[in-house]
Amino acid sequence: SFDSKKPQEKCFVSHAHLDHLPSRSCRCVCSPETAALARLRGVTLLEDSTPQIKLLDAGHVLGSKAALIEDFLLFTGDICLRSRGFMEGFKPVKAQVLVIESTYGSSSFQFPDAEEVAKEARDLIEEMLSRGHPVVLMGYPLGKAQILIHFFSSIARVVAHSTVAKFTEVYRRFGVDLPDVLSYPKARLAKVLERESWVMLTPMYSSTSPLIQALKRRHGVKTMAFSGWAVTSSFKAKLGADYAFPLSDHADFHDLLKVVEAVSPELVVTYHGQSSSLARALRQMGFAAESLAEKKAIDLSLLWRR
């Protein structure tokens, strides 16, 4: 099974985001980084290996892997082609069958260069700090937060939500060059927020959350949200963020097409997110493509060992 909530005897876990982890501890094929991060979520992954499965860096978060099975089937998990800071992008390989994530599988999702987005955000952060407004940087606590620390830690003291701080320590333990961050409870205790210029990393909170309201009331913070969904017109308003930037750890629509072209499979199976849109676009390009949203089981026996 792949990224299944109900792990089977043979299973693969691509990375440690909650929607990809099993619901209970199990033996599986995964990276050491994924096993370490999963432990922080209360899931023990006993690392297994099999010569039939080759793990490839997926470029999504620390330890994220795609799985190539006997050079026949490539399961991507969540992938990102673009390198971002210390994260190297995914490098596709040839396979007969490609099972590909389609989180952003619609043509409306096209992301600008990550470095350009970071520069635009950095200029705004510096402007806000110069006006006396600390800045809360919001994104997934595993993956996005660490990229934001990489991009912006040189601007001001970095304070982090406790969850972000725990995940960041694992990144540091596995050799990623990130600064030590001060957890929010420790920063409050030491009165750092009153004395210094700071940015704070948090999960993706709405403006109505007690934490954000308290930070706005006490410190006049401005909030910036970082997500691929920021390309949609409604994202910033729904969240109530002051600013939103399209910085994603996923492949956008055109990068997903590039992956398919590079893999050159006989069959593409799309899953998750906008899988039907991606499958339709691939069929228009001449690929045999099926969406798991439309077909729950797909017979691969005619392709196997051909």
The CA dihedral of 88, 91, 97, 100, to the nearest 10 degrees, is 30
pLDDT band for position 154 (50/70/90)?
A: very high
What is residue 299's predicted lDDT score, i.e. its pLDDT? 62
Average pLDDT score over the chain: 94
Q: How confident is the model over 12-22, as a mean pLDDT? A: 91
55 beta partners = 67
What is residue 297's predicted lDDT score, i.e. its pLDDT? 64
The span from the CA of 119 to the CA of 113, in Å, is: 10
What is residue 296's predicted lDDT score, i.e. its pLDDT? 64
Query: Which residue has better confidence, 26 or 167?
Result: 167
pLDDT one-digit tens code per residue, 176-210:
999 999 999 999 999 999 999 999 999 999 999 99
- The topology (CATH level 3) of 114-245 is Rossmann fold (3.40.50)
Query: Which residue has better confidence, 7 or 68?
Result: 68
The backbone region for 44, taken as left when phi is positive above 0, alpha when psi lies in -120 to 50, beta otherwise, is: beta
Q: Where in the chain is the domain with CATH 3.60.15.10?
A: 18-109+250-291
AA identity, residue 152: F
Model confidence, pTM: 0.94
Q: How confident is the model over 135-147, as a mean pLDDT? A: 98
The span from the CA of 223 to the CA of 238, in Å, is: 13
pLDDT band for position 301 (50/70/90)?
A: low
pLDDT one-digit tens code per residue, 70-116:
999 999 999 999 999 999 999 999 999 999 999 999 999 999 999 99
Q: Where in the chain is the domain with CATH 3.40.50.10890?
A: 114-245
Cα–Cα distances (Å) from 63 to 33, 37, 143, 187, 247, in that order, read 5, 9, 10, 29, 20
What is residue 300's predicted lDDT score, i.e. its pLDDT? 61
- The topology (CATH level 3) of 18-109+250-291 is Metallo-beta-lactamase; Chain A (3.60.15)
Pairing type for strands 198-202 and 157-160 reads parallel
Residue whose pair of structure tokens reads 């190539």 in the numeric block:
68
Q: How confident is the model over 140-163, as a mean pLDDT? A: 97
157 beta partners = 198
pLDDT one-digit tens code per residue, 238-247:
999 999 999 9
Residue 295 has pLDDT above 80, yes or no: no
